């Protein structure tokens, strides 16, 4: 569980899961595609066809408060899009 941090469950990723058999995960920044593939295959018992990764850098945010302008930064993270083999699916809602 050190590799896969959490699944990305958004409207866009849900439609890609239904139509294109793709699923998204937030992963550790140091994880490579081979480690991500092995982690998904072991955790969900599926066959992974391909792995695409992308880095998101943190953005600077500022807001006005009574005491002046507060400046901060959002967290940076790494995201992986997993394409599964034909016939395999992942059900994130089965444990609810």
| Residue 72 counted as domain residue | yes
> Residue 58's domain spans which residues?
4-84
Domain of 26: which CATH number?
Answer: 3.30.70.330
What is the SS3 assignment for 47?
Answer: coil
In the predicted model, is pLDDT for residue 93 greater than 80? no
| Residue 80 counted as domain residue | yes
| Tokens matching residue 80 | 């992986």
| Residue 31 counted as domain residue | yes
The count of domains in the chain is 1
Q: How far is CA 84 from its chain centroid?
A: 14
pLDDT of 41-76, one tens digit each? 999 999 999 999 999 999 999 999 999 999 999 999
Residue-averaged pLDDT of the chain: 92
Mean pLDDT for 23-30 is 96
């Amino acid at each position: 569980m050190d590799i896969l941090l959490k699944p990305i469950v958004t409207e866009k990723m849900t439609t890609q899961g239904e139509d294109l058999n793709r699923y998204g995960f937030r992963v550790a920044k140091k994880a490579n595609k081979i480690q991500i593939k092995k982690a998904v295959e072991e955790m969900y018992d599926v066959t992974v066809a391909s792995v695409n990764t992308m880095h998101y850098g943190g953005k600077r945010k500022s807001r006005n408060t009574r005491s002046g302008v507060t400046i901060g930064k959002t967290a940076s993270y790494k995201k992986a899009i997993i394409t599964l083999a034909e016939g395999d699916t992942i059900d994130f809602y089965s444990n609810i």
